[in-house]
Structure 1
Amino acid sequence: MTPSSAHPSPRARGETAATKRWEKWTYWPLTGLALLWVIVYTAQVVGDVRGTWQGVTGIFMLAAQLVFAGDYLIRLMWAAPRGSWFRHHLLDLAVVFVPTLRPVRLLGALTRLASFTRTVGSSLRAELLIYGIGSVLLLIWQVSLVVLQAERHAPGANILTFGDAVWWAFCTVTTVGYGDYAPVTVVGRVAAVVLMAGGVVLVGLIVATISSWASERVSHARRREPASTVQGDDPTPPSR
């Protein structure tokens, strides 16, 4: 795999001077807004906010999503070619509907460490591992909130606290499935399907990446062994 195939050029991704300037100006403000969205949504669900404060938090989250939608449309309008930009920025489209995903981009900073960039292969594996683990944790967090919000006041539900929701989400994403907690609402079950589907893909990605890294380490260790050790030769000279 060549560097160009692992990381397509900006032109191949549909980036232009205008889109790069816009992203440079808005990257950190929008990331901060996304983190604030996560905090507000978490407080709303865990605190079971009602009345005036529920309206305030709802308006804030809607306004934040409109900002993300505007950012996406502006960059799409300035991109060239737009089809290529669209294909390489599906995560940005998902952020419009699920702002929890935007902090995933912060994980990319870890891949810039020197230990992750010695070779193209190791850099790519490190990036996949970091993004995989981060995505799993964010998926668990988001689905736990959605399920808790849907289940808390439903008749016959047993997911009544955030701790219950997180425990259920971890059991579901790892396919353990103890069965002590289960959603009973339509929204909760749809969220469970999303968690199961996403969890299988992301956990599989993590396992495959770790296996690839371990295989490479074993291969390097074998190549460093002396030829006599590999062939099983006796290093002592024969007696006369």
Structure 2
Amino acid sequence: MEEERLRGWEHATAYPLTGLSLLFIGVYALPVLDPGLDPAWRRACELADVVIWSIFLVEYLIRLRLAKHKTRFIRTHWFDLAVLILPVLRPLRALRLLNALRVLNRHAVAWTRGRLAVYVISATVLIVLIAALAVLDAERGHPDSTITSYPQALWWAICTITTVGYGDLYPETVEGRLVAVALMIGGLGLIGFTTGSLASWIVDRLSDADRPTGAATRADMVLLLHEIRKLRAEVEALKETQRDADH
């Protein structure tokens, strides 16, 4: 019963949390993309950031309350807890974006199930855009940073997630390097997911290709049995005719 309540809660909050995640990304991105943003707007973005983060925290606590086996829930949802707690530390504030990605991914997997291309393309674009924001936020104030604009951050993110790594741009701060690690892991995860899904798709296609042959074989057997029955009936009729002639 409690597990059903948990699933019901997750289903009911799917769309609101997705909307909040997109809003969370927006209020994070605005001050990063516009360093000269009006102080009032900057404060509004920071306030919205804290409020949405608090909602995510409350939502996690509600799911924990609804879970029947709380220890197992914490163990299996450790990443959810980590991305809620770690950004409280000032050097790890860019990791707040991982929470928005986590929520979006949790529902996108269900909404795009069976649509591998849609999921992979959307996830890749979103990860690259968010990683670029995070690394720019981390690196912009560092005196030796090579990443000082969003186009540069985008180029770095694309090179990193594709494992090209030209080395012309690279993070200097601890926070920026943590973003790089997260992006590398995300890239490897996407590659593994795509490879596994593609292999599964090929196996399914091969299985589908085999099915008509099996169906044709069964149809041939049915036809053959029908012909055998007809032949037996004719043989029996001939025997009856022969017996009548003998008498």
Q: Flag whether TM exceeds 0.5 (same fold).
A: yes
Residue of structure 2 equivalent to 1:34: 21
Residue of structure 2 equivalent to 1:45: 32
Which structure has the larger Rg over C-alpha atoms? 2
Work out whether residues 16 and 79 of structure 1, in 8 Å CA contact, stay in contact via their aligned partners in 2. no
Residue of structure 1 equivalent to 2:112: 110
Instruction: Output the CA distance in 2 between the equivalents of 1:53 and 1:86.
Output: 37
Gaps of 5+ in 2: 85-95, 215-247
Tell me, yes or no, if structure 1 residue 76 matches structure 2 residue 77.
Answer: no
Any idea what SS the aligned residue of 2:47 has? helix
Aligned-pair identity (%): 37
Any idea what SS the aligned residue of 1:32 has? helix
Tell me, yes or no, if structure 1 residue 168 matches structure 2 residue 144.
Answer: no
Instruction: Output the CA distance in 1 between the equivalents of 2:126 and 2:69.
Output: 31
Residue type of the partner of 1:146? A
Q: Tell me the CA shift for residue 151 of structure 1.
A: 1.7
Q: Calculate the TM-score normalised by the size of structure 2.
A: 0.67
Q: Tell me the CA shift for residue 215 of structure 1.
A: 4.1
Work out whether residues 22 and 100 of structure 2, in 8 Å CA contact, stay in contact via their aligned partners in 1. yes
Instruction: Output the CA distance in 2 between the equivalents of 1:217 and 1:153.
Output: 52
Tell me, yes or no, if structure 1 residue 196 matches structure 2 residue 197.
Answer: no
Across the aligned residues of Structure 1 and Structure 2, the Cα RMSD in angstroms comes to 3.0
Matches within 5 A, 1:88-127: 88-90=76-78, 92-93=80-81, 96=84, 97=96, 98-101=98-101, 102-107=103-108, 108-111=110-113, 116=114
- Return closer, same or farther for 1:24/1:54 CA change in 2, 3 Å cut-off: same
Matches within 5 A, 1:1-240: 15-17=3-5, 19-48=6-35, 49=37, 51-90=39-78, 92-93=80-81, 96=84, 97=96, 98-101=98-101, 102-107=103-108, 108-111=110-113, 116=114, 133-218=121-206, 220-221=208-209
Work out whether residues 16 and 78 of structure 1, in 8 Å CA contact, stay in contact via their aligned partners in 2. no
Q: Tell me the CA shift for residue 90 of structure 1.
A: 5.0
Instruction: Output the CA distance in 2 between the equivalents of 1:198 and 1:146.
Output: 14
Q: Calculate the TM-score normalised by the size of structure 1.
A: 0.69
Residue type of the partner of 1:181? L
Instruction: Output the CA distance in 1 between the equivalents of 2:22 and 2:168.
Output: 32
Gaps of 5+ in 1: 1-10, 117-125, 227-240
Q: Which has the higher helix share?
A: 2
- Return closer, same or farther for 1:94/1:141 CA change in 2, 3 Å cut-off: farther
Residue of structure 1 equivalent to 2:217: none
- Return closer, same or farther for 1:94/1:210 CA change in 2, 3 Å cut-off: farther
Q: Tell me the CA shift for residue 191 of structure 1.
A: 1.4
Deviates more, 1:20-29 or 1:157-166: 20-29
Work out whether residues 80 and 99 of structure 2, in 8 Å CA contact, stay in contact via their aligned partners in 1. no
